[in-house]
Structure 1
Amino acid sequence: MQQVSRLRLAIPALGLAALGIALAGPLAAARGDSAPPKKITSVEGITEYQLANGMKVLLFPDPSRPKVTVNLTVFVGSRHEGYGETGMAHLLEHMVFKGTPDHPDIPGAMKERGADFNGTTSDDRTNYFETLSATDDNLEFAIKLEADRMVNSRIRGEDLATEFSVVRNEFERGENSPENILSQRMASVAFEWHNYGKSTIGNRTDIERVPVDSLRAFYRKFYQPDNAMVVVAGKFDESKALELVNKYFGSLPKPDRKLPATYTEEPPQDGERVVTLRRVGDVGLVGLLYHVPSGPHPEFPAVQVLSQILGDEPSGRLYKALVATKMASSIQAGSYGRHDPTVIEMGAEVNTKDLGTLEKVRDVMYKVIDEVIKSGVTQEEVDRARQSYLKNHELAASDPNRIAIALSNWASQGDWRLYFLNRDRVEKVTPAQVQEAAAKYLTPSNRTVGFFIPSAKPERTPVPATPDLAKMVEGYKGREVKSLGESFDVAPMAIEARVQRPQPIEGVKVALLPKKTRGDVVHVTLNLRYGTAESLKGKTDAASFLPGLMLRGTKSLSRQQIQDLLDKNFARLGGGGGRMGGGGGAGVLSYSIQTKRANLPAVLDILRQVLREPTLPEAEFEVMKNERLAALEQSRTEPTRLGINHLQRLLAVYPKDDVRYTPTVEEEIQRLKSVTIDQVREVYQSFLGASHGELAIVGDFDPSEALSTLGKALEGWKSPQPYARIERPFQPDIKPERETIETPDKANATYFAGLMMKLQDTDPDYPAMAIGNSVLGGGALSSRIADRLRQKGGLSYSAGSSFNASPLDPRGSLMVMAIYNPANRGKVVAGVDEEVARILKDGVTQAEVKRAIDGYLKQQEIQRTNDTALAGTLAENLYLGRTFQFQADLEAKVKALSVDDVNSALRKYVDPSKLSVVTAGDFKKP
């Protein structure tokens, strides 16, 4: 479950489970034949219907991906909460996962079908969604489930007694983030009366003391068909989906009560307000917040463009004034569309503890804003911001999942068609409108910084009310529907039959999977491998800069020109690699592309320049270095970072100069400080080339055209030094440890435990261990560990385990993690120890094994519907010398597993005496 946080901005239920007392009987007593749905409108392939009971329905078919998403939106959020009810919408979101008489174990049912599911709460709405394989049975399951729990959830006192502490744990997790808390404090000062000033997760005492009767009344009031919308997106038969929606949602009676509209209106602010937050930490923050119109208001798109012009990287005004000059390590700016007048917020991260330095940064932010008000913005800046917005809008259009969520967000602001109308408005924004918005709203009297300072002459900035939405969207038709793509079979051998593997380019192996996709989208993954464990000694920190720095300038293109070309071509180009880059570890350089068929050649040419002609600019290197140092400084007192870092050090022991060594945070800071631009350039010149690597392309593209362009990029590019895979062997002499790390003034604590095992993913026991882990803790909300710590004990918002085994070395790992209140450390440690001991002693059950196997197979199927993941699998298979026959064989082995197989593997590889445990938090607080 999540709330949307500000400046990154609702609450998803990823860690939520089943809750409930039946409030209306099975499906609120289905009424027999329901009146046929009424078609309301159709815009760009999305059709709206309304049921006789007032329920809204959106259907968005996309046959190109064999999965379907059902998203239920209830139009209730923190905006609707009354006195003593803060956090109630979010708490109820948790409780609705606690089950109904017909669906007593919702997380278990989801896991059994391999569903990707969650719930989120924001200011204006609550969402529940699940994505499953596209079958009629799954579609009916999801629609029936959502209709059932919308009115029949068991809101029971005993469930509330445990779940409120889970929500409190989630609250405490948010308390660990200075950025999150500063943003909340600014909002609470800026909004004196409106609920937008209150955090969606609520007040701690409200969460702890809410009476179950009050929660039931809140549920009965808002969770009704006339206050909800269901979106079905993906591969499905429209007539069948509409029939099912009408069968299960249409049978729900329309309530007699009439929901009152919220009516609190925030008065114009009459002077600058300032709030100061003092907590343990190492990195300073400066934030500014201004009131602006609501998301539906015609002026809001100009505010969106303004926030992009201020906060974009590297073209943004604030970025150039603060990050490029090294006054700040990072900046961000954002405007949040809401039902009622909202805010634009911007912030800067500064590596200092000195208030005077922070005030200087604040003054520079004032100057930048004043310059926009005085002199305006350029057409180029508006075009760049607009193109960035349109690119993201266009790319999202190829993913029914993302559109379903976006539609619900706009619907909660008044009407789902605003999703398209706002795009149309952004296209028409002018520099004059941006300057007008800045002059009108970014005024000192409308600003919140931290503490209140009266002015000699009070100033007020009235914010217009939300306009008449019915007139605004009346007759709106939208645009012509884009290409839908093909129906794609994701069975492993069906995919294998379509994969093309032409001759390598230089030393780069190639796999191609051309297919029609919605919006003509194509995905590219490229891995280049270089160096050896010996030759890369002492060079991994320098190498970690390469992927990002290579994207920041070439002989022909500046960083800004690269970004502008990517926006023009509706493309994303990302890089990773090296120890800090996240692209596969030392000795790997990775790039990924997402674009459209017609633009692929142009984007591949950009990649060619990035690979072959990078300038590795020193100024950008210093910016990157400063950003990383600031992030590391901030993590010095963060329980999660410190806990997992220490566990990794316990489980893999290497010399300090070895590429496989895990440094402490302090060591990492010192190593990073010592890296120079000359060292980075030396790694590029001495190691980079196309002698070893993998390339995979999935989606809508011309194979011959793509290969021709890539040939120009890679042919003749020899790696100067030899490459050899860096082995990571099993280390049998690792001694288990149990250690504690103190992190003062942190409300949330972490538990990490792990052990290593001699196991490879080709070993016979691998499938059984994977399923055994799923039962133990890998099943999200439904597992032994999650049931013990969250569902029964109410100790943890997030708890579970993970299992991994190398495909190349006989080295596997089992990890367990949990977050919790520091006062509950003993219960959490004992709970994990007891559950591990219990599963080894008593074993797993047939029902658990069946559910885990079904969930595993369906999850693998859903993963293959994601073209980005599919490209990654193709590249990995090239590296490992595998085809999809491996995945097919593995799934067959999983299907054949017995209870004895799973129990035997768990008892063979899981030895509690070898479990290393690290707890991190403020354990000295009384």
Structure 2
Amino acid sequence: MKIYTQICLALCLLISTTVFAGSTTTHPNFIEEKAAGIASYKLANGFKIILIPYPSASSARIELLIRSGSKLEGYGETGMAHLLEHMLFKGAGNRQNIKDDLTKLGARYNGTTSQDRTNYFESVDADPKKIDELLRIEADRFIRARFTAADLASEMTVVRNELENSEKEPSQLVFSALSRNGFNWHGYSRSTIGARSDIEGASFAALQAFHKKHYRPDNAALIVSGNFDSKRVLALASKLFAVAKNPSTEKPANWTLESPQALTNKTELVLSAGTTIAASAWKLPGMKERDAHALELAAASICDSDWGSLRKDIVLDRKLAVSASCFTWNQTDYGRFVAFARADQKTDADSISNEVVKHIQEAAARGVSKEQLERARLSELNSFQKALDSHESVAGLVSRSEAAGDWRLFLWERDVVSSVSLEEANEALKKWVVPLNRNDVVLKHVENATPLVFPKSTDAETRVKGQVWGNIVSSADAAPTSLLAITRSTVKFNLNNERVQVALIQRKTQGDKVWLAFENDYGNPAQLKNRKVSCDAASALMSYGGNGLSRDALSARMESLQAIWQINLAGVYLEVPRKNFMEAFKILISAWANPLMPVVEFERYKASRIAALEAALTDPIRVAENDVRLRFDNYPEGHWGKPKAFPELIQDIKNLSYEEVRKCIQDFAKVSQVRMGVVGDINAEVLKDAWTSTGLSDAASSTYERVPTPLAPVNVDVTQINVTLPGKTNARVTGTTVVPINSKSADFPALQLAIYALGGNSSSLIWLQLREKEGLAYSSGMQISPSVFDNRSTIQLFATASSSNSDNALGSLQSVLMKVLAEGFTPEQIEKAKSAWLQKRKATLGDERGFASILVNSLYDGQDFEAIEALDQKIKAVDDRQATYVLKKYVGQSKILWAVGKGN
């Protein structure tokens, strides 16, 4: 790490890398484009404001988009776009810490860096004053960013730890190699995280210069979506961002393109990883070319996880690998078609690679059928339609398209998907998926090869100019204003008998969707003894078809109904347009009650689980975490929740028979104690008719009885666990205790708040110490996993760090906890935590998708919206003395097991 000699001087330096004037008058703006209910405005300085109104939404989202990502980094600057993203959560203007300001507003926030762009975004409930403040925060971040050399020295170690968390991960190494060997000159050859040497060696001056070059108004945009006053937002945003001026230098641009080459590359990576991976990539045109989208549709016949041919051939039929998949990756300048296969550590990687490539290129040469193309088209259009239900999803599409040149491109892409012909799709496959455009890496000489010539990048405006699109926003009921409002709109009733309970929230949802969570409580302690491994396998296999429908056929039926679904032994989940609810519900429940359980998938499941557990044995973090679970094991033999060591689990799965798995289905895939949580514009009569239509009458042979969890163990060996294994550079440090309390206990609200104040958010004491002050950990905090019924709750402190910093991270975690136990919380710390907790809760009021899960769980444990509101009220009443008392009572008086899992 480079030591800076002028830190004292830099500490006093406020960097304002976008020049701005002092005028406070509202600057003129004009409508640049309008389409599909969205409007964009451009200020005189080139800054763009894009408004996406969703009047029925409960929240608003604000994004600052910078049209520069890692592809525009120069020599010695790799990772700088991402590092700068981290730095811009520091101070700005008079703000000391942007994260604190966002937390006080109850905002859900993040920042991301890709190869094409950098963005910062946050969502809050639709309060005009909060939206105003977010606009001011982003203006300060953009115009008046303030960070120092000391900030860089601290954050550099955090970013380096983020690199270390993935740099030796096998899949990441494979994808990095594909990128390096796929692009000789273009910036897509580099990972966004950057080189370790650049992260460690980047100077403060270089970071300032990078910021000044890229963070300029003609290279940026503000995207506002959700429920907001358009005139108010436009007026304030114009005033705030119009003062920014562009520097005299040219706007950043990318003119580096690949020279056409006809070649096949192949390389070999050797790593102690416990697994075998083979991958290939074919280079494609960028996302502004029809060919990219035509090929994506055509590739579904090979790649789709349900009905594609690759997995069926490589995994199911010939059992060459435990997993095989492929996908297209569309980006601004180039795309890629990537294939990926994984097997156990004894399998020959070259053989897998050859067979995967052979399958894909032969399939591409054959082409796709009309039926396959239409199925892929329907799936893509369904996904697009689903995205329109959420303003945040639409904002993501707009951001990606704007980074590529024009925000309307996502609408053009939809039109392309709708219009691609069978001939066009097959021509794209046959043109681009060929050996001399493939990257496995090792050069091979081919005589008289003609290289493919990639088209020059198309001007985005030519794709959208003159097009007219209808409004994409559908109407919906206004979002609930409180948990009690949700409670008042909840209706509970039984269907036919007491064994089927329903909790329903009837409301018109965005996209007129219905969400249903169906859970069937099954078994009793005697029946479930020693059956977790077999019933887990049964649960996994239930998704592979039922009631006479194969997985492929079931998936096709649900796709035609625009349904998103899951199915397992415990029940089903369904998200579907209201008009298709009855049919989708009947199909899914019938499949659940009559699963196919194909033997070939059982064999694949065993191979995949064994390979995953063998890989876990080489991961020091997972080994240490499992050792912690074993230390707190006071479960009786055969108990559903009893932990096991990895070698024992591997042997259990090797010994598992198909008959044992089938027995779980025979015993438990029957109506026992059914709970349904439903959200949507349907009534009780519709649900009664839907249930009757399934014809389910076959009841379970035994009455359901909850499996009790043993009370918190009293005698635990808390000798520190240290696991060190080769091949990794990162570490995870934990401190764990299991305490005698449940979520309904009188002390729980105060304990929950105390833990939240210590490590539950980005303004908590652990985060501020380890992440912000010391830069030791990429993630850190404290959490509680409470039981609802039994006095057994797990509390854990945690931090991820580089292996070399694991001891420091452990000491820092311990010091934060010991200080609070010794000195107690301050009133300010508890009030800050309460505010963050309640603001976070308020932000969930518009999450219609999550309501069904809360409803179905509440029928089991009583934790409905009214109970959640009661918990929040109790948390509001907690003061610093109560929080300190319960922390000392449950954590201070418990033995904490500290554990370190790290590589070397």
TM-based fold match above 0.5: yes
Counterpart-to-counterpart distance in 1, 2:137 and 2:89? 11
Q: Is the 8 A contact 1:51 1:250 kept in 2?
A: yes
Choose 119-128 or 675-684, whichever is displaced more: 675-684
Q: Is the 8 A contact 1:538 1:657 kept in 2?
A: yes
Decide which of 640, 650, 656 is 1:669's aligned counterpart: 650
Question: What residue ranges of structure 2 are gaps of 5+ in the alignment?
Answer: 1-10
Counterpart-to-counterpart distance in 1, 2:449 and 2:637? 61
The residue number in structure 2 matching 1:311 is 303
Decide which of 896, 902, 922 is 2:877's aligned counterpart: 896
Q: Give matches, 1:55-204, under 5 Å.
A: 55-204=47-196
SS in 2 for 1:346: strand
The answer to whether 1:759 aligns with 2:741 is yes
Decide which of 529, 532, 540 is 1:540's aligned counterpart: 532
Counterpart-to-counterpart distance in 1, 2:512 and 2:653? 42
What amino acid is the match of 2:76? G
Q: Is the 8 A contact 2:543 2:568 kept in 1?
A: no
SS in 2 for 1:279: coil
Q: Is the 8 A contact 2:47 2:242 kept in 1?
A: yes
Q: Give matches, 1:534-613, under 5 Å.
A: 534-576=526-568, 589-613=570-594
The residue number in structure 2 matching 1:6 is none
Choose 671-680 or 593-602, whichever is displaced more: 671-680
The 3 A distance-change label for structure 1 pair 569 and 22 is farther
Counterpart-to-counterpart distance in 1, 2:777 and 2:901? 14
The 3 A distance-change label for structure 1 pair 495 and 714 is farther
What amino acid is the match of 2:131? L
Decide which of 424, 433, 438 is 2:415's aligned counterpart: 424
What amino acid is the match of 1:218? F
Q: Is the 8 A contact 1:376 1:431 kept in 2?
A: no
Decide which of 386, 392, 401 is 2:383's aligned counterpart: 392
Decide which of 680, 683, 688 is 1:699's aligned counterpart: 680
The 3 A distance-change label for structure 1 pair 127 and 707 is farther
Q: Deviations over 1:48-84 (max 9, x none)?
A: 2222221112211223331111111111101111111
Q: Deviations over 1:189-238 (max 9, x none)?
A: 11111110011110110010001011011111211221111111112222
SS in 1 for 2:41: strand
The 3 A distance-change label for structure 1 pair 450 and 490 is farther
Q: Is the 8 A contact 2:285 2:335 kept in 1?
A: yes
Q: Give matches, 1:768-807, under 5 Å.
A: 768-779=750-761, 781-807=762-788
What amino acid is the match of 1:126? T
Decide which of 328, 333, 336 is 2:329's aligned counterpart: 336
Q: Give matches, 1:683-762, under 5 Å.
A: 683-713=664-694, 715-735=696-716, 736-762=718-744
The residue number in structure 2 matching 1:441 is 432
Q: Deviations over 1:536-576 (max 9, x none)?
A: 11211111133332221223311111111111111111135
Choose 84-93 or 223-232, whichever is displaced more: 223-232
Q: Is the 8 A contact 2:19 2:247 kept in 1?
A: no
Q: Give matches, 1:213-612, under 5 Å.
A: 213-325=205-317, 326-354=319-347, 357-506=348-497, 507-576=499-568, 589-612=570-593
The 3 A distance-change label for structure 1 pair 24 and 505 is farther
Counterpart-to-counterpart distance in 1, 2:704 and 2:109? 42
In the TM superposition, residue 453 of structure 1 has moved relative to its aligned partner by 2.6
The answer to whether 1:871 aligns with 2:852 is yes
In the TM superposition, residue 898 of structure 1 has moved relative to its aligned partner by 1.0
What amino acid is the match of 2:261? Q
Counterpart-to-counterpart distance in 2, 1:470 and 1:761? 56
Q: Is the 8 A contact 2:18 2:244 kept in 1?
A: no
Counterpart-to-counterpart distance in 2, 1:25 and 1:409? 25
Choose 906-915 or 293-302, whichever is displaced more: 906-915
What amino acid is the match of 1:685? Q
Counterpart-to-counterpart distance in 2, 1:913 and 1:481? 56
Q: Is the 8 A contact 1:27 1:148 kept in 2?
A: no
The residue number in structure 2 matching 1:582 is none
- Identity rate of aligned residues, in percent? 29
The answer to whether 1:650 aligns with 2:631 is yes
Counterpart-to-counterpart distance in 1, 2:559 and 2:359? 25
What amino acid is the match of 1:347? F
Q: Deviations over 1:520-542 (max 9, x none)?
A: 12211111111112211121111
Counterpart-to-counterpart distance in 2, 1:43 and 1:373? 36
The 3 A distance-change label for structure 1 pair 574 and 652 is same
The residue number in structure 1 matching 2:836 is 855
Counterpart-to-counterpart distance in 1, 2:723 and 2:13? 42
SS in 1 for 2:479: coil
Q: TM-score, normalised by structure 2?
A: 0.95
What amino acid is the match of 1:754? T
Counterpart-to-counterpart distance in 2, 1:120 and 1:70? 14
Q: Is the 8 A contact 1:688 1:720 kept in 2?
A: no
Q: Is the 8 A contact 1:376 1:432 kept in 2?
A: no
The residue number in structure 2 matching 1:3 is none
Q: Deviations over 1:870-925 (max 9, x none)?
A: 11111121112354321222111111111111111111111276111221112xx4
Counterpart-to-counterpart distance in 1, 2:353 and 2:424? 25
Counterpart-to-counterpart distance in 2, 1:701 and 1:631? 43
SS in 2 for 1:97: coil
Q: Is the 8 A contact 2:764 2:833 kept in 1?
A: no
In the TM superposition, residue 651 of structure 1 has moved relative to its aligned partner by 2.5
What amino acid is the match of 1:618? V
Counterpart-to-counterpart distance in 1, 2:802 and 2:534? 39
What amino acid is the match of 1:827? N
Counterpart-to-counterpart distance in 1, 2:252 and 2:216? 14
Choose 317-326 or 194-203, whichever is displaced more: 317-326
What amino acid is the match of 2:790? D
The 3 A distance-change label for structure 1 pair 841 and 616 is same
Q: Is the 8 A contact 2:563 2:575 kept in 1?
A: yes
In the TM superposition, residue 302 of structure 1 has moved relative to its aligned partner by 1.3
Q: Deviations over 1:14-33 (max 9, x none)?
A: xxxxx995323999455222
SS in 2 for 1:725: coil
Counterpart-to-counterpart distance in 1, 2:320 and 2:27? 64
Q: Deviations over 1:657-716 (max 9, x none)?
A: 221111222222222222222212211112232221310011233442233112333752
In the TM superposition, residue 467 of structure 1 has moved relative to its aligned partner by 1.3
Counterpart-to-counterpart distance in 1, 2:714 and 2:568? 33
Q: Deviations over 1:278-325 (max 9, x none)?
A: 111121111111111001112110121233222111311211220112
Choose 312-321 or 302-311, whichever is displaced more: 302-311
Q: Is the 8 A contact 2:572 2:589 kept in 1?
A: no
In the TM superposition, residue 495 of structure 1 has moved relative to its aligned partner by 0.7
Q: Deviations over 1:253-299 (max 9, x none)?
A: 34443314211111123311112111111211111111110011121
Q: Deviations over 1:444-501 (max 9, x none)?
A: 1211103223334444222212212211110222234342212122411111111111
In the TM superposition, residue 626 of structure 1 has moved relative to its aligned partner by 2.7
Counterpart-to-counterpart distance in 2, 1:720 and 1:173? 49
What amino acid is the match of 1:731? A
SS in 1 for 2:88: helix
Question: What residue ranges of structure 1 are gaps of 5+ in the alignment?
Answer: 1-18, 578-588
What is the aligned length? 891
